[in-house]
Amino acid sequence: MTIGVIGGSGIYEALPLENTRTESISTPYGDPSEAVTLGELGGNDVAFLPRHGEDHQHTPTDAQYRANIYALKSVGVDRVIATNAVGSLREDLPPRTLVVPDQIFDRTKHRSPTFFGDGMVVHMGFANPYCPAMVDHLATAAAEATDDDTKTENGGTYVCIEGPQYSTRAESEFYREQGWDVVGMTAIPEAKLAREAELSYATVAGVTDYDVWKADNEVTLQEVLENAEANQEAINRVIERAIRTMPEDFHSEAWSALEGTINTPREAIPEETLERVDLLAGDYLD
């Protein structure tokens, strides 16, 4: 198995990877945010990629989501552990809480949500946007790897906004009225693309703030960065635990997600498109 990790550079620096090397990968969807770092941990192969680039130079809108997922797929990744910084929409999920969400509500506007198109129509099921098997595994790792001072939450809905601005107060209050749990900017299209690439995908989200619904509360970059740094140690422990305890009999329904979803006959798909998606869908187009 090869386990992909998507997050900030602090994760890579903390993971005790052995036999590391970097690999620069070009994809049909452009270059990834950075070169992929490959290594070994607990007998498992690991591929790490920073979503926003090593120096956080890509915004949530223009991060190289398609190239990142494609690059991980190309080096043999079949499951992905992601991390996100999020705002809390619940009083009982204070900053420095870790959440393993199981649902997403998409409010993004300007992002490419699919590898396909260009003469090839794919209708992908997405009822469970995070792989249930990976959600369960991450939630168990979070419970086992954190101390009594770190609150963890299993399940919840992540509402993904476009950014890079934070929510208005009206938006934040609306999200709370819907019963959603956390708000962030990077779950989409990453989760959709991971499903199209048939990767088992889930995330550990670290709460950095109360968004702006809370009376007299304004989200500031300083607050977000301070709490994100405080969350980092706990998130690192969770990811390391999840990698070390990944079961050999792990199975994900995502690994056959493309089956029965391609709506265009092979002979009608342009050759250029067939070539571009061969890594992702070639087994279904023979």
Structure tokens belonging to residue 157: 């809905």
Cis peptide before 60 (omega within 30 of 0): no
Looking at residue 282, the DSSP 8-state letter turns out to be G
Structure tokens belonging to residue 257: 């997600």
- Catalytic pick among 209, 249, 278, 286: 209
Measure the CA–CA gap between 92 and 32, rounded to whole angstroms. Answer: 37
Residue whose tokens read 């550990």: 204
Collect all residues with Cβ–Cβ distance below 8 Å to 271 and sequence separation of at least 6: none
DSSP 154-190: E--EEEEE--SS---HHHHHHHHHTT--EEESSSTTH
Collect all residues with Cβ–Cβ distance below 8 Å to 136 and sequence separation of at least 6: none
Measure the CA–CA gap between 179 and 39, rounded to whole angstroms. Answer: 40
- For this structure, is 147 an active site residue? no
- Catalytic pick among 211, 216, 249, 278: 211
44-50 vs 182-184, strand pairing mode: unpaired
- For this structure, is 136 an active site residue? no
| Residues forming a β-bridge with 203 | 82
Measure the CA–CA gap between 93 and 33, rounded to whole angstroms. Answer: 31
The residues that are catalytic are 209, 211
